[in-house]
């Protein structure tokens, strides 16, 4: 789960990490109060709050010298969508704008904390090349990327922090500030079960002090059950609507680019089904695991979810009845199809617990369903039908 920059900065403040004072605009009538509540003597930076970086490049971060410029920025963005290199072509809605006090920048650095699967730890990455695409820096000038591993207490030893500060040419005061920022971020990362914390850019201000100019936080969703204060920070408008709806219904769903909708029980079988579709030159429209205890209701919800994707030209249902009963699944499929007018072809493979009963329910339904017994045949068939 992602947080907005302004929410991330609220956590930064709690952990004594230096961020700019800011105020939030949700409707144009908020502008006056927002300007009054910050030091606007040198103007401010207006920032679109959407779950994406790369805002600066498309005008979503702008230095505003006057109230008029703020009004123009709000007019330009609020209620619109922002498309960046990190979003898809549809972009993300802009419902919030943050006004920040202006920071005078000397240099932009990069800092992040990530779950490092290769090293089996959390790693900190810092670079003197901040403010830009870090993947590009890593590719073109890998020597500019410095890395340190956090130990199992989420700490980095003082002497290692000092060595990094040295490489970044910090003076002694900056080194102290750097150390505080590193340890504060590490503690925040641990306390809040984050999977990513990124400050790009971490800046050296013209007065020499370090400052977190941007803030990105990803939270490990599996830990949300013990992070109650984070729960109400979720912004569904920033998530794929189908993926969000799926989560609400306890279904694992991931949108993909293809045209064959997949409904499968079990993540492994779902992966296998997608592979088999690909083997026959088809393209799955989604990953969907209705779960090992798929009920009629959940199948019905899953069905609606798949059909709400305009790209879907056919559906492959692949259910193995271990705990679930295929006859119940079959009834769920029929109910869902009857609830909406489905025009795309549907291939169904039911195997296992009560599969024969399931198949006859489907056959007797009078609906245009194609039954197949093997996954290969079923996949081949649906690929043929969508062509």
Which spans of this chain sit near ligand GDP (rule: CB under 6 A)? 45, 53-56, 61, 100, 102-103, 105, 108, 131, 200-201, 213-214
* Structural tokens at position 298: 């959940």
Select the residue interacting with Mn ion from 23, 127, 177, 200 (CB under 5 A). Answer: 200
From 63-71, 108-116, 146-154, 200-208, give the range in contact with Mn ion by CB under 5 A: 200-208
In the bound state with ligand GDP, the residue whose beta carbon lies nearer, of 56 and 352, is: 56
CA dihedral 287, 50, 15, 114 (to 10 degrees): 40
Cβ-based neighbour number of residue 76 at 10 Å = 15
Is residue 110 part of the annotated active site? The answer reads yes
188 binds, among ligand GDP, Mn ion, none (CB under 5 to 8 A by kind): none
- Give the Cα separation of 81 and 376 in Å (integer): 42
CB 49 within 8 A of CB 97: yes
Determine the residue with CB nearest Mn ion: 214
Which position among 11, 198, 253, 372 bears the catalytic label? 198
In the bound state with Mn ion, the residue whose beta carbon lies nearer, of 55 and 234, is: 55
55 binds, among ligand GDP, Mn ion, none (CB under 5 to 8 A by kind): ligand GDP
Residues 208-267 that bind Mn ion (CB under 5 A): 214
54 binds, among Mn ion, ligand GDP, none (CB under 5 to 8 A by kind): ligand GDP
Number of shown-chain residues binding Mn ion (CB under 5 A): 2
CB 230 within 8 A of CB 1: yes
CB 315 within 8 A of CB 383: no
Is residue 372 part of the annotated active site? The answer reads no
Q: Which helix (H) or strand (E) holds 320?
A: strand 314-321
CA dihedral 320, 324, 330, 334 (to 10 degrees): -120
In the bound state with ligand GDP, the residue whose beta carbon lies nearer, of 108 and 372, is: 108
Q: Which class for 247: exposed (0-12), middle (13-18), buried (19 or more C-beta within 10 A)? A: middle
In the bound state with ligand GDP, the residue whose beta carbon lies nearer, of 48 and 246, is: 48
In the bound state with Mn ion, the residue whose beta carbon lies nearer, of 6 and 320, is: 6
CB of 353 to ligand GDP, least distance (A): 51
Residue 112, interface with Mn ion (CB under 5 A)?
Answer: no
Determine the residue with CB nearest ligand GDP: 56
- Give the Cα separation of 56 and 124 in Å (integer): 24
* Cα–Cα nearest to 319, from 358, 281, 361, 276: 358
In the bound state with ligand GDP, the residue whose beta carbon lies nearer, of 21 and 147, is: 21
* Residue 60 CA: distances (Å) to CA of 113, 170, 180: 25, 31, 30
CB of 87 to ligand GDP, least distance (A): 11
Which position among 110, 128, 243, 357 bears the catalytic label? 110
CB of 138 to ligand GDP, least distance (A): 17
The alpha carbons of the chain give a radius of gyration, in whole angstroms, of: 26
345 binds, among Mn ion, ligand GDP, none (CB under 5 to 8 A by kind): none
CB 6 within 8 A of CB 24: yes
38 binds, among Mn ion, ligand GDP, none (CB under 5 to 8 A by kind): none
Residue 108, interface with Mn ion (CB under 5 A)?
Answer: no
CB of 261 to ligand GDP, least distance (A): 34
In the bound state with Mn ion, the residue whose beta carbon lies nearer, of 214 and 289, is: 214
* Cα–Cα nearest to 44, from 17, 18, 73: 73
Residue 2, interface with Mn ion (CB under 5 A)?
Answer: no
* Structural tokens at position 70: 């703020």
Residues in CB range of 248: below 8 A, 6 or more apart: none
CB 284 within 8 A of CB 315: no
Note the residues at the interface with Mn ion (CB under 5 A): 200, 214
- Known catalytic residues are 110, 198
């Amino acid at each position: 789960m992602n947080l907005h920059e302004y929410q991330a900065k609220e956590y930064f403040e709690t952990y004594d990490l230096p961020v700019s004072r800011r105020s939030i605009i949700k409707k144009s009538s908020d502008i006056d109060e927002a300007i009054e509540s910050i030091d606007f003597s040198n103007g401010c930076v207006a920032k679109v709050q959407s779950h994406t970086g790369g805002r600066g490049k498309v005008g979503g971060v702008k230095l505003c010298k006057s109230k008029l410029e703020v009004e123009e920025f709000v007019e330009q963005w609020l209620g619109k969508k922002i498309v960046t290199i990190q979003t898809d072509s549809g972009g993300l809605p802009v419902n919030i704008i943050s006004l920040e006090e202006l920071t005078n920048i000397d240099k932009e650095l990069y800092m992040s904390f990530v779950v490092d699967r290769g090293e089996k730890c959390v790693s900190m990455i810092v670079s003197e090349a901040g403010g830009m695409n870090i993947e590009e820096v890593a590719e073109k000038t890998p020597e500019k990327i410095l890395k340190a591993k956090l130990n199992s207490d989420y700490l980095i030893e003082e002497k290692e922090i000092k060595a990094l500060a040295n490489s970044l040419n910090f003076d002694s005061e900056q080194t102290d500030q750097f150390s505080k920022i590193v340890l504060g971020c590490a503690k925040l990362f641990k306390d809040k079960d984050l999977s990513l914390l990124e400050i790009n850019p971490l800046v050296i201000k013209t007065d020499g002090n370090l400052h977190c100019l941007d803030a990105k936080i990803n939270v490990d969703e599996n830990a949300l059950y013990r992070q109650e204060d984070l729960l109400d920070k979720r912004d569904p408008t920033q998530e794929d609507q189908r993926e969000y709806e799926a989560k609400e219904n306890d279904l694992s769903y991931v949108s993909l680019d293809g045209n064959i909708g997949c409904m499968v029980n079990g993540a492994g079988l779902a992966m296998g089904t997608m592979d088999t579709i690909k083997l026959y030159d088809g393209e799955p429209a989604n990953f969907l695991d209705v779960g090992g205890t798929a009920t009629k209701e959940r199948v019905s919800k899953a069905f609606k979810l798949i059909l709400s994707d305009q790209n879907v030209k056919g559906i492959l249902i692949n259910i193995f009845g271990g705990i679930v009963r295929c006859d119940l699944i079959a009834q769920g499929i029929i109910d869902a199809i009857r609830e909406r007018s489905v025009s795309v072809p549907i291939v169904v493979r039911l195997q296992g617990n009560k599969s024969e009963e399931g198949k006859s329910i489907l056959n007797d339904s009078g609906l245009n369903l194609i039954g197949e017994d093997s996954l290969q045949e079923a996949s081949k068939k649906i690929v043929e039908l969508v062509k």
